[in-house]
Amino acid sequence: MAFHVVIPARYQSSRLPGKPLKDIAGHSMIERVYRQAELSGAASVTIATDDQRIVDHVNLFGGQVVMTSSSHESGTDRIYEACSKMKLADNDVIVNVQGDEPFIPPEVIRQTAELLESPDSKMATLCVPIVTEEQVHDPNTVKVVISHNNKAIYFSRSPIPFNRDSAAFSKINYYRHIGIYGFKYHFLAAFSQLPPSNLENIEKLEQLRVLESGHSIEIDVAIKTPPAGVDTADDLQAACEYARGLTIK
C-alpha cells in the first residue's frame, strides 16, 4: 500500500542538544533515520524541522525537508504542519517515524502503515513484549493493554495490567509501546485540533488524547523489535558501537 513517512527533527534537546546532527559511525542520526525510512517502500520521506542547520544538512545528503514552526509542542503538531504543505488526500496514510531512531527496521515502518488498510481505521501504532520485570515498573517504559481485536485499550507509565494476585511475571502478557504512529491524513488534521486531555496531562502521553476523545488506535506486536533510540550521550555512544558492529558484519 502507498504511504508517506514524515520524520520530526528538533535541534534543541534538553538532554542532547543538536541530537539530529550527531555523528553515528560516519553518518548523522537524522540521515540514518531517513535512509531506514526510504527502505520501507514509502512513496515519500520528508523531514520536518524548525532549524536551518538541519535543513542545510538534509539538503547536503539529498533528502526532502520542510521547515516548520518553532512553536510546536509535539512532534505530531510538527508533522501535521509538514503534511498540510504536501497536498495529501484525506485517506492518505502518514507514518510518523521518530527522528532519534537511527536503526528502526524498515519492516516496522511498513507494518504500521498496513494497520491502516481498513477504511474505518484512523490511527495505528506498535508494541513489543516486555521481557524483564524491571521494565514493568520503570515509568520511562510506556506500557499498553491490547484488546482481542487489536485495539489499544490504555497506555500508562504505571504497571498495567495491575498484578493484583502477584502472579508470576511469565504468566502475564506485558507490552511496551513503541513510539511510532500511523495516521490517515484526515484524522491527523482532526487530532491536531483536539485540546490536550485530562489523562494526557496526568500521564504525559499524547496518545491518550485520542482514546479519551473516543477514537480508537489500531495496534499490533512489531514483527521486529527496534534497537533502542537515542536520548542521551550514553545512548549516542551505544548507537555508535551498534553501528560499528553492523559495519563489521
In a domain, 56, yes or no: yes
Percent of the chain with pLDDT over 70: 99
Q: How far apart are CA 119 and CA 47, in angstroms?
A: 27
Which pTM does this prediction carry? 0.93
In a domain, 232, yes or no: no
Helix (H, G, I), strand (E, B) or coil at 180: strand
In a domain, 241, yes or no: no
Tell me: pLDDT of 74 over 80. no
Q: How far apart are CA 221 and CA 148, in angstroms?
A: 12
In degrees and rounded to multiples of 5, residue 30 shows phi and psi of: -70, -35
In a domain, 235, yes or no: no
Yes or no: say if 40 and 110 are a contact pair by the CB < 8 Å rule: yes
Q: Which whole number is the average pLDDT over 8-20?
A: 87
Q: What is the CATH number of the domain that holds 21?
A: 3.90.550.10
Domain with 30, as residue range(s), is 4-225
In degrees and rounded to multiples of 5, residue 182 shows phi and psi of: -115, 145
Tell me the per-residue pLDDT of 189-220, one tens digit each, with 9 for 90 and over.
999 999 999 999 999 999 999 999 999 999 99
Domain count, the chain: 1
In a domain, 240, yes or no: no
Tell me the per-residue pLDDT of 104-140, one tens digit each, with 9 for 90 and over.
999 999 999 999 999 999 999 999 999 999 999 999 8
